[in-house]
A and B are shown apart, each in its own frame.
Chain A
């Protein structure tokens, strides 16, 4: 559990940095759909080109993003092996008990891992070029149709934005608690399933306490500064859309459409 699970904002002056938060979110959801629909080599090549182009335009090195994603290699290997051995027993190359090594399993494992990797790549580009305030504003605009049903979109956007900001903080906190438990003699590297599972449990209650303590402090600070639910609904002027916003949405839509056609 590193503290760089999902990346962090990197200040810059790129086209991506200048785009509206809501535009980036729309593009992200279009690309997300494209990633979910991709299952061919040509599709993954297109996604790679899109990710590489986006990273260059955003001024974030693809190598740096790749390095941080590579830290999750154990997770990728696990999901690849699970799909490889358990997905299908048809036309198996090799079978033993419940394990079946088949071409369909190999294909499924590769596709699932590639999808997760691309998902992480694009989410890092989004988080790396969008400040939490922009994300909140973007979410608020996108959620605004829900206001018709009486849902406080400002408050919902605020909750989601605070949640995103809490993730690296709580992840770091969990890591510290884990290290503290190791110092007290807890073993986290057991060889058996139950040993490893039991070792994760002593972390859970302290993590909850730490999370709720941080939330309590933040709520107190917000109340002290006069934050009220009614104020969560921001007053906005006319939403101005720039050419780069339109271009980004059209390009993301094109990537999504091409994955449907491929």
Chain B
């Protein structure tokens, strides 16, 4: 998708995605612990990487959580480095995967990119916490619990919502179609 988007448009879409990293979690703030369960900040980062490419995804992945922490206090400072590492990987991997994978169908491209990015992001975030940010205090059980047990609704939400949002954006001609001749995606 990136090749058909101008650099100015990529830049502004990235800005909008960073803003969504702050606005979207606020919709969930009224629900206790919803941030950890529904992971609303991950959705704009993944989408930015998919649509604009890895450089913009990386910027969105770092700037989104940092700006949110500065302006709204969430995520808290203790969680911020691990989360920024995770979202940065999301942005990079989705961008690279979308450039590399061409199955001639949009949905497989999206799902392969998303699942790879989510898994790598969780692994990098876990490794960063275990080795750098919470060295000696972070266990495998804590990683599995935080990444997959607590957050399973958020993972399902990402896998259901991002292809739907991408299709809606293509339909509204806000992003160019990846496979213009493809019907019934």
Chain A interface residues (CB < 8 Å from chain B): 1, 5-6, 28, 32, 36, 74-75, 78, 82, 112, 115-116, 119-120, 123, 155-156, 158-164, 166-167, 169-171, 174, 178, 193, 196-197, 200-201, 203-205, 207-209, 211-216, 218-219, 222-223, 227-229
- In the bound assembly, the distance between CA atoms of A25 and B29 in angstroms comes to 27
Q: Chain B residues in contact with chain A, CB under 8 A?
A: 6-9, 11-20, 22-24, 26-34, 37-38, 43-44, 47, 59, 63, 67, 70-74, 76-77, 153, 157, 161, 164-165, 168-169, 172, 174-175
Contacts of A207 in B (CB 8 A): 20, 23-24, 27
Q: Is the CB of A200 within 8 A of B27?
A: yes
Contact of B15 among A215, A228, A229 (CB under 8 A): A215
**Is the beta-carbon distance between B16 and A227 smaller than 8 angstroms?**
no
Residues of A within 8 A of B70 (CB): 28, 32, 119, 123
Per the bound structure, the CA–CA distance linking A218 and B24 in Å amounts to: 21
A158–B11 contact, CB under 8 A?
yes
Q: A166-B19, A197-B153, A212-B175 are in contact. Are A75 and B29 (CB under 8 A)?
A: yes
Residues of A within 8 A of B71 (CB): 5-6, 120, 123, 167
Task: Give, as a whole number of angstroms, the nearest-CB distance from B11 to chain A.
Answer: 5
When chains A and B are docked, how far (Å) is the Cα of A100 from the Cα of B76?
Answer: 22
Are B15 and A209 interface neighbours, CB within 8 A?
Answer: no
Say which residue of B18, B161, B175 sits within 8 Å of A204 (CB atoms). B161
A211 touches B165 (CB 8 A): no
* B169, A215: Cβ atoms closer than 8 Å: no
Chain A positions within 8 Å of B27 at CB level: 1, 174, 178, 200, 203-204, 207
A164 and B67 contacting across the interface, CB-CB below 8 Å: yes
A120-B72 contact, Cβ under 8 Å, with A205-B161, A212-B175, A222-B8:
yes
16 contacts between A and B (CB under 8 A): A1-B26, A5-B22, A32-B70, A115-B76, A120-B71, A159-B14, A159-B15, A167-B23, A169-B19, A170-B16, A193-B32, A205-B164, A207-B27, A211-B16, A215-B9, A215-B15
A214 x B11 contact (CB < 8 A): no
Closest 3 CB pairs of A and B: A166-B19, A116-B73, A162-B15
Report how far A116 CA is from B29 CA in the complex, Å: 14
B11 touches A155 (CB 8 A): yes
Residues of B near A193 (CB, < 8 A) are 31-32
Task: Select from chain A the residue with minimum beta-carbon distance to B153.
Answer: A197
Task: Give me 17 other A-B pairs in contact (C-beta within 8 A), A167-B19, A222-B12 excluded.
Answer: A1-B23, A5-B72, A36-B77, A116-B73, A119-B70, A159-B15, A164-B19, A166-B18, A166-B19, A170-B23, A174-B23, A197-B37, A200-B27, A205-B161, A209-B169, A213-B172, A219-B6
